[in-house]
Structure 1
Amino acid sequence: MAIITDNVVRDFTLKPANDKFSSEAMPLMQRVVHVAAIAAADAESVDREARFPKAAIDAAREYGLLGAQIPIEFGGESASIHDIAEMCYALGRACASTAMIVAMHQTKVACLVRHGRGSAWHEQLMRRIAAEQMLLASSTTEGNNGGNIRSSAAAIARTETGISLLRDATVISYGAEADGVMTIARRADDAGASDQVLVVFTKDDYTLTPTLGWETLGMRGTCSTGFELRASGRADQVFAEAYDRIHAQTMTPVAHLSWSSAWAGIAAAAVERAQAFVRKAARGAGGQMPPGAAHFTSAKRSLTKLRAMIATHLDAYTAHEFDERALTSLDFQSSINLLKVEASELAVETVMSAMRACGLSGYRNDGDFTLGRHLRDVLSAPLMINNDRILANIGTANLMSPVPASLRD
């Protein structure tokens, strides 16, 4: 199945302000194009001011993007993982912070859709997301765990009226702007660090006290501030399924596919600027290619490889989406984790090649061919759930996996 198309956001066109969303009148990807146009217009100031991309997220609400993945029976559109990947790619070409916010939100929604069925509370939340276009934040990093999602310090406490949680969340991306937060925690006070549950709270369930700022090189608009999260709610807000299953079947694959698509979008935008620069330079020199033209070829080649890699993993995930045994297999888990590692490194390589193609024009922060924001944003990719940690974990697991004996294995 074709994915990550070149013409999704070929021409950003702002919509009329009074043009209201209608899923029947306007296909999903056409709505994504409109949202991407708004995100692109705001991207420079979002980065410069390190502010939440409110205009783009408001547009995503208006056009129904935040609830698109919710099943039709609960008021959504049953958007597929392919749809979500295309959405993240298109938004990545426009504004990296907007794309990453949407990617993280859609990962939380995917967990809710797959693992919340049968729970009256979670099904009602799905209806609310579809109707109100609620934005869900993620809290998976805490204290000194260094981004190790499969180890929690904070625990769910059972009270007479329900549950409570106190969490030192060193990062909650766009937490202050979200309508709810999905977080992991130890099942109980006496549970081990890896005996985890997933729980979701809506905004009236919790308070956030800022503890760390967000003055960063790139992805500045994600506003990934640290907070003390103090929450309370009903016992049925905790997912019945153990987090280790949710992590393997949904959280990891959807996160890595949507993040990779967002990074590919950033890379595509950089390649497009490099292409425009090389064309202009060649016209000005009577058809003679500029010195950096070979770097443009490298950038285009690595972008092609990146897009193909994502497409292959999208197809692999959808082929086994409801096969729990396949999704939890060592081969699939290694592959989907390596996607994150390889896509993040390749996205950085692509943007760097594009900048070298543009030379000083790409290095400058002004002018039509500036690529500073793209490079700063994409440099977050290998550090977001650090690649070294992933490779160390995969290395140990792969010692038990046989080396394929043929090309068909």
Structure 2
Amino acid sequence: MSLLDERNAETDGPPPLRERAESVGRDIAAQWADEVDRDARFPHEAVAALRAHKLLSCGVPPEHGGAGASLGELCEITRILGRYCASTAMVFAMHQTQIVSLVHHADSAAMVDFVRDVASRELLLASATTELGTGGDVRRSVCAARVDGDTVTLRKNTPVVSYGEYADAVLVTARRTEDNPASDQVLVVCRRDDVTLERTGDWNTLGMRGTCSPGFVLEARSSADMIVPASYADISSRTMLPVSHCVWSAAWLGIADAAIDKARSFVRAAGRKQPGVTPPGALRLAEAAGVLQQFSDLVFASAARFDATIVEHENPSGLGFSLAMNNLKVTASTLVVELVTKALLICGIAGYREDGPYSLGRHMRDALGAAVMVNNDRIMANSAQMSLAYRGTI
């Protein structure tokens, strides 16, 4: 029995989270995945289904109207969705990263009310953390929060806002004030009705096309009590970075699952044609299954590590923890490409073709985005600096 099954077996409430996720993935996301990819359009149908099944709010604590899902459970849902549509899985993953960040760091009355509203209306949250003029460093901002009484305004030129046009609120990073240094950042919650997005580019990418992540000049007005009290540096190191690396990796794991499923079906079909003869791809399939198991163990062990720090009220922002989460992202983004490639070799030309049941084109293109979604070279450079100072074991 899975984490999600155990949580729901004790209640007579809605279907288990796993069952709901499987229903959304199999019945809705899979049906539209190719069209979402081909047209680079937002997966409206799948997100509507996530909302209808109350999965957008599953990371919100029960006392605020959600299901109180742990990070491990969020990863399991993301993995299920990733098997059917990687773009849907990534939208879910990025949304939940914002949810968990608010739950752990936004404890003011106004923020608690906002989280309750998110849960009651199944609102979709996006984020705007990257910015032109910072060299890709999300821990610095040119944009500043301008507070005038109870009102805060900001203007941010960002190269990427994933599904920003379709979100109900955007969490925006900005300098605390115009006089503060670029590294002194806050996180501002801006409801979509108070946000203007002027598109500065298109989202014509190799993969992950349904995340709809073009650049925008973002202008927003919010209230001063919608500035998260904690510093963004603390939010990022303690929550946003480890959570994002775990759920992103779970989405990539789902892509790998789908690819290996296709490879397994191909080998079984070959075996049925020649009973008693082991198909040529069987050995490679067994090797791939072993790598997939290692991949899965890595993702869920990392999520469990985060969940344990929350339960035990420990600080998850030490060097060893940060190194482990960096290693997770880099390793997962490498393994997903390795596994899709193995599946392609097993399926051969049938996997290379775009018009058959074993097609792996979308999976390969989605997988290749993993290494550049926060570039692995940037992450490893950061890890190299931390490694020089760290004396313990990861």
TM-score (norm 2): 0.94
1:401 Cα shift? 1.7
2: CA distance, partners of 1:273 / 1:4: 25
The one-letter code matched in structure 2 to 1:65 is: L
Match of 1:11 in 2: none
1: CA distance, partners of 2:337 / 2:224: 43
* Secondary structure of the structure 2 residue equivalent to 1:168: strand
> Which of the numbers 193, 203, 219 marks the counterpart of 2:208?
219
2: CA distance, partners of 1:305 / 1:28: 24
1:298 matched to 2:287? The reply is yes
> Which of the numbers 111, 127, 131 marks the counterpart of 1:138?
127
Match of 1:258 in 2: 247
Match of 1:88 in 2: 78
> Which of the numbers 347, 358, 369 marks the counterpart of 1:358?
347
The one-letter code matched in structure 2 to 1:345 is: T
* Secondary structure of the structure 1 residue equivalent to 2:262: helix
1:209 Cα shift? 0.7
Q: 1:378 to 1:154 in 2, by over 3 A?
A: same
> Which of the numbers 57, 60, 66 marks the counterpart of 2:47?
57
CA contact (8 A) 1:299 1:351 kept: no
1:295 Cα shift? 2.8
Match of 1:101 in 2: 91
Moved more, 312-321 or 257-266: 312-321
CA contact (8 A) 1:72 1:78 kept: yes
2: CA distance, partners of 1:27 / 1:307: 21
1:267 matched to 2:256? The reply is yes
Q: 1:184 to 1:23 in 2, by over 3 A?
A: farther
1:189 matched to 2:192? The reply is no
Percent sequence identity over aligned pairs: 44
1:285 Cα shift? 2.9
5 Å-filtered alignment, 1:221-370, equals 221-321=210-310, 326-370=315-359
1: CA distance, partners of 2:310 / 2:53: 27
1: CA distance, partners of 2:112 / 2:12: 21
1:161 Cα shift? 4.3
Which is helix-richer, 1 or 2?
2
2: CA distance, partners of 1:151 / 1:290: 54
Match of 2:188 in 1: 199
CA contact (8 A) 1:3 1:311 kept: no
> Which of the numbers 159, 178, 182 marks the counterpart of 2:167?
178
1: CA distance, partners of 2:218 / 2:21: 32
Match of 1:43 in 2: 33
Task: Please list the CA deviations of residues 221-268 of structure 1 after superposition, one character each: whole Å capped at 9, or x if unmatched.
Answer: 000111110001111111111111111111011101111111001100
The one-letter code matched in structure 1 to 2:255 is: I
CA contact (8 A) 2:189 2:222 kept: no
1:149 Cα shift? 1.4
CA contact (8 A) 1:282 1:289 kept: yes
CA contact (8 A) 2:4 2:18 kept: no
Task: Please list the CA deviations of residues 147-185 of structure 1 after superposition, one character each: whole Å capped at 9, or x if unmatched.
Answer: 321121111112244111100011001111111101211
Q: 1:392 to 1:377 in 2, by over 3 A?
A: same
Match of 1:124 in 2: 113
2: CA distance, partners of 1:306 / 1:4: 20
Match of 2:142 in 1: 153
Q: 1:147 to 1:35 in 2, by over 3 A?
A: farther
Moved more, 132-141 or 288-297: 288-297
CA contact (8 A) 1:100 1:222 kept: yes
Q: 1:3 to 1:358 in 2, by over 3 A?
A: farther
The one-letter code matched in structure 2 to 1:236 is: D
The one-letter code matched in structure 2 to 1:93 is: R
2: CA distance, partners of 1:4 / 1:261: 15
Q: 1:3 to 1:380 in 2, by over 3 A?
A: farther
1:82 Cα shift? 1.6
Match of 2:8 in 1: none
1: CA distance, partners of 2:4 / 2:137: 30
1: CA distance, partners of 2:278 / 2:164: 47
Unaligned runs of 5+ in 2: 6-10
Q: 1:64 to 1:403 in 2, by over 3 A?
A: closer
2: CA distance, partners of 1:4 / 1:49: 33
Match of 1:77 in 2: 67
1: CA distance, partners of 2:291 / 2:133: 35
The one-letter code matched in structure 1 to 2:287 is: S
Match of 1:26 in 2: 15
Q: 1:76 to 1:4 in 2, by over 3 A?
A: closer
The one-letter code matched in structure 1 to 2:194 is: D
Match of 1:12 in 2: none
The one-letter code matched in structure 2 to 1:80 is: S
The one-letter code matched in structure 2 to 1:349 is: E
Task: Please list the CA deviations of residues 19-56 of structure 1 after superposition, one character each: whole Å capped at 9, or x if unmatched.
Answer: xxx98131222111111121011111111111100000
How many residues are matched? 388
1: CA distance, partners of 2:12 / 2:116: 16
The one-letter code matched in structure 1 to 2:52 is: E
Moved more, 156-165 or 211-220: 156-165
TM-score (norm 1): 0.91
